[in-house]
Amino acid sequence: MTWLHSWAGVLLGGVLLVIFWTGSLSLFDREIDRWMQPATRLPAPPVALSLDRLLHGEAESLIATAPAWTLSLPTARTPTLQLDYQDPVQGPVRRHIDPRTGALLPDEGSWAGTRFLFPFHFSLHLRWRDLGYWLVGAAGMGMLMLLVSGVVAHRKLIAEFFTFRPRKRLQRSLLDLHNLTGVLVLPFHFLISLSGLAIFCLIYFPGVAQSLYPEDRTQLQAEALGSYARPASGVAAPLGSLDAMLRQAAQRWEQDGQPGAAYQLRVWHPGDRAAFVEIRRSFAREVSMNVDRLVFDGVTGALLQQHRTPPVVGVQRFLTGLHFVQFEHWTLRWLYFAGGLGGCLLIGSGLLFWTGARRARHARQGRRGAWLVEALTVAACVGLVIATLAFFVANRLLPVDIVAPPRRATLEVQAFFGAWLLALAHAAWRPAQAWREQLQLAAGLALLAVLLNGLTTGDHLLRSLSTGPAAVAGMDLMLLALAGLCLLGARRLQRSAQPIPRERAIG
């Protein structure tokens, strides 16, 4: 079991670090959006909204030719109306609307947290044949195996939990930290790995759906998710009142014992006689990310279909809700964040202990295995942090009004991956100094991001702490905390690298 635990960790450690880091950040993806998209830093939205009024004007001209569009209603974390539609030239487009006036907010062209960091967590942005999903799934299975083999390999888990010795030599401290985080957050790591596999079960086990629905997969979508479709008629007709449909949806859910308002509506074939409107029920007050929805005729407002989450699908959606934490519970969100960072510590300390135990022996034998793993570990740990901070810094430095390709979102992503590759090259070039120098660089980038936010938006930390928005203040505070931790880590490494004075060694 010890051999299995060690080599599985070495082979999967880098991918697992990426998953845990981006997953931790995704818990606050909407807050990252507010920091990276200053135009969306609005006060709390009004309680009552009239979509019929807000969608007339600038927004109406955007969606006039779109075959379908989606409108996400404002929440405490997202104080804007979020409009998504398909543009024939640009592809998928997302615009934000001020819910008080209906004015279109400036398009800042950034994928920010919800469209870059969040999908990166479960797909690695590798779309070819769903390769990213398969890599993440393999890493999730590997994490479960690592947890079980770790419990077997460390038979004295409870005793090791109480033997953390941070002032001992680095190797001893790393092993103690690995054992401590492994025991302290073990239930969370098991839950998060298992639920992550359940979310994309149809990708990992496509044969189940094929055996149940061998001829028509759309029937599965209809029964499980309530999907509804009908072709456009080609006859023009005005869209009915969206406000009336929202009121009817809320009343029907209340009558059926499903409390909660709508959080999103999607309009298909707008302007056509066969238009229909799909309204989805919010899951902000419950753990399960339900798929309850109502479908209305887009012209008359008559109810066409009502779908309630089936029991089997409800189990999968409950596990999905446990994993993504989209419900309103800030205490649990912060505990998840601590658990995700604990996973990063667990994996990183294990990789560091493995390379530290073999570095000298491999150097004597002329082998480069430990050197390669250490370079990859540096890039997967500190290099990933540097890449994320480069993503934030590029967002504050790039002009908003970039018209010619590559667009701003592409440049931000290029900054992320370019910084990551440079971190890997630096780790391979200067293995002895890589950890300390990259920690120092990460601290500098974190401080620079806070400074640039204040200079480019005016929402410096003192202002955001006193008058809001809270999301911006929280982001700046976390960046400052990250800078402090990186500097402490660099200092600890520098002290451990210093030779012991002769008189202390003799005495």
pLDDT value at residue 7: 73
Q: Are 188 and 132 in contact (CB under 8 A)?
A: no
- CA 267/CA 86 separation, integer angstroms: 12
| Residue 476, burial from CB neighbour count under 10 angstroms (0-12, 13-18, 19+) | buried
pLDDT at 204 over 70: yes
> What was the pLDDT predicted at 131?
93
* pTM for the whole structure: 0.91
Q: Give the pLDDT band of residue 507 (cuts 50, 70, 90).
A: very low
Who contacts 334 (Cβ-Cβ below 8 Å, separation ≥6)?
A: none
The predicted-structure confidence for 3-26, as pLDDT tens digits, reads as follows 777 777 888 889 999 999 999 999
pLDDT of residue 55 exceeding 50:
yes
Distance in angstroms (rounded) separating the CA atoms of residues 447 and 453:
10
Q: What is the mean pLDDT of residues 394-419?
A: 88
The number of CA neighbours under 13 Å toward the Cβ of 485 is: 11
Residue, of 201 and 161, whose pLDDT is higher: 201
- Note the pLDDT tens digit of each residue in 429-466: 988 888 899 999 999 999 999 999 999 999 999 999 98
> What three-state secondary structure class fits 412?
helix
Q: How confident is the model at residue 378 (pLDDT cuts 50, 70, 90)?
A: very high
| Cα separations in angstroms, 363 against 169, 356, 368, 375 | 21, 12, 7, 14
Query: What whole-number distance in Å separates Cα of residue 298 and Cα of residue 238?
Result: 8
Q: Which of 159-168, 341-350, 483-492 has the lowest mean pLDDT?
A: 159-168
On the question of pLDDT at 502 being above 50, the answer is: no
The tens digit of pLDDT for each residue in 137-189 reads 999 999 998 888 887 776 666 666 656 666 666 666 777 777 788 888 889 99
> Of the candidates 75, 72, 81, which has an alpha carbon nearest to the alpha carbon of residue 104?
81
